[in-house]
Amino acid sequence: MQNENTITSEDFSQLASEVDNSKLVALGFFSQLSAKGEYSKLMAAGKYSSLVAEGRYSVAISSGRGSRVKGAEGTLIALTHYKYDDKGDEFMLYGKMIKGNKYTPRKIVTGKIGEEGLLPDTWYTLNEKGEFVECND
């Protein structure tokens, strides 16, 4: 069994691994993560990230708004559902009052590829109701 651990905080990052038990973490926006090995773990925190878990028994999780995921049979997936709030929050930043992000996290939606209609090698994102839906490449 091989290992590969990689983490980056750059926007538009591209991380890939072909070994078993890989751990890939991307914090930047529009990151792309791909792991082919079994038992791999992929985590993205930036908005609009793409995660591909091709190895069996893998886990792919994104906390970033607008992210998408696809995986092999048996892959566990999780995406964060955000709701638009037209009021937004205000907070102090560097001595200035700033209007906050109008998207707030509401729940984490989980699934397993091969169950409840989730198909292998198919891209999924969340709709406005926080449900998995197929999306394009």
Percent of the chain with pLDDT over 90: 61
Give the pLDDT confidence score for residue 96 in this predicted structure: 77
Q: Is the pLDDT of residue 3 over 70?
A: no
In this predicted model, what pLDDT tens digit does every residue of 66-89 receive, in sequence order?
999 999 999 999 999 998 876 666
Q: Is 135 left (phi over 0), alpha (psi -120 to 50) or beta?
A: beta
User: Could you say which DSSP state residue 49 is in?
Assistant: -
In this predicted model, what pLDDT tens digit does every residue of 37-74 receive, in sequence order?
999 999 999 999 999 999 999 999 999 999 999 999 99
Give the pLDDT confidence score for residue 1 in this predicted structure: 44
Give the pLDDT confidence score for residue 134 in this predicted structure: 96
Give the pLDDT confidence score for residue 126 in this predicted structure: 97
CA distance 39 to 58: 4
CA distance 122 to 60: 13
Instruction: Find, among 50, 26, 24, 44, the residue nearest to 35 by Cα.
Output: 24
Question: What are the C-alpha distances in Å from 98 to residues 13, 31, 54, 87?
Answer: 28, 27, 42, 12
Look at 81 and 4; give whichever has higher pLDDT.
Answer: 81
Give the pLDDT confidence score for residue 116 in this predicted structure: 93
> What global pTM score does this model have?
0.83
User: Could you say which DSSP state residue 51 is in?
Assistant: E
CA distance 108 to 11: 23
Q: Is 88 left (phi over 0), alpha (psi -120 to 50) or beta?
A: left
Look at 128 and 97; give whichever has higher pLDDT.
Answer: 128
The whole-number average pLDDT for the span 6-32 is: 87
